[in-house]
Amino acid sequence: MTITITKDEEEFNRTAAWRIIAQMLEKPTAVIGLSTGQTTIDMHGIVSRIYRQYPFDVSRITLFNVDELTNLPREYAGSCYSMILNQLAGPLGIPDENFIMPPTMSDDFEAEARLFEKRLAERGGADLQMLGIGANGHIGINQPGTPFESETWVSPMDPDFEARVRRETQVPKETVLGGLTRGIKNIMHTRKIILIAKGAHKAEIIGKAILGPVTTDIPASVVQLHPNCEILLDAAAGSRIAGRV
């Protein structure tokens, strides 16, 4: 495990963007996993701008997101499909067949989870996963308590996040919301993981995940066991571990 702490948020965004571009240039058939949210939107924008200024071949690159919301319209601006499509897959012109995402609506999400993994396996598995971390230590939508041997499944949402989604979508109370997420076992089978975080609000959980014990109470702590993992942080997120690792 290597740790990179950038001097500020701007350097973090540039560094993370170049990690994605480097994987694309190194392996033109790379299968790259992404994450959504405030941590990644700016880095995706930088990737898109660099590609627009200096185009390179992405015709055989495969993109996917580590998770997707369930029982919401795919057109919802907060769906992972919409965010990755608008931020990266669309601007790079990734062919539809190379943008692998599970549906947001289905009568059989267990089958969709198996199909999602099958499609990734057919392309040789994931080469790189840009992996966010939640304030409670979740990765993907694998909440605290999720077994490390879990495989791709539909997980409950964090209650605060679910409340926000319900406010934004006005989805009926009887509709069960969740997230189809790659399991921790699947994530750990990725050839390279880059755990990313920025902002002072992530400093405490980063300290626990990186310096503390490996425990299902903090799912992100499992990356300590990965043979090819980088922890990429801005100065604020890395403030609790700077000088201690």
Split at pLDDT 50, 70, 90, the class of 124 is very high
CA–CA separation, 84 and 110 (whole Å): 23
Helix (H/G/I), strand (E/B), else coil: 184: helix
pLDDT given at position 54: 97
**End-to-end CA separation in angstroms for the chain:** 10
pLDDT given at position 203: 98
The answer to the question of residue 245 being in a domain is no
Q: For residue range 5-26, what is the model confidence (pLDDT) as tens digits?
A: 999 999 999 999 999 999 999 9
213 CB-near residues (< 8 Å, 6+ apart): 221
pLDDT given at position 166: 93
Q: For residue range 49-108, what is the model confidence (pLDDT) as tens digits?
A: 999 999 999 999 999 999 999 999 999 999 999 999 999 999 999 999 999 999 999 999
The answer to the question of residue 243 being in a domain is no
Domain count, the chain: 1
Split at pLDDT 50, 70, 90, the class of 177 is very high
The answer to the question of residue 166 being in a domain is yes
The answer to the question of residue 181 being in a domain is yes
Looking up tokens 């992404």 gives 34
Question: Which tokens go with 125?
Answer: 């598995």
Split at pLDDT 50, 70, 90, the class of 243 is confident
- What is the number of alpha carbons within 13 Å of residue 239 lying toward its C-beta? 12
Residue 219 is part of a domain; what is its CATH number? Answer: 3.40.50.1360
Question: Which tokens go with 129?
Answer: 């996963």
Cβ count within 10 A of residue 55: 10
The answer to the question of residue 106 being in a domain is yes
Q: For residue range 138-172, what is the model confidence (pLDDT) as tens digits?
A: 999 999 999 999 999 999 998 888 999 999 999 99
36 CB-near residues (< 8 Å, 6+ apart): 65, 80, 83, 84, 132
The answer to the question of residue 162 being in a domain is yes
Structural domain for 8, as ranges: 2-233
The answer to the question of residue 80 being in a domain is yes
The answer to the question of residue 239 being in a domain is no
Split at pLDDT 50, 70, 90, the class of 184 is very high
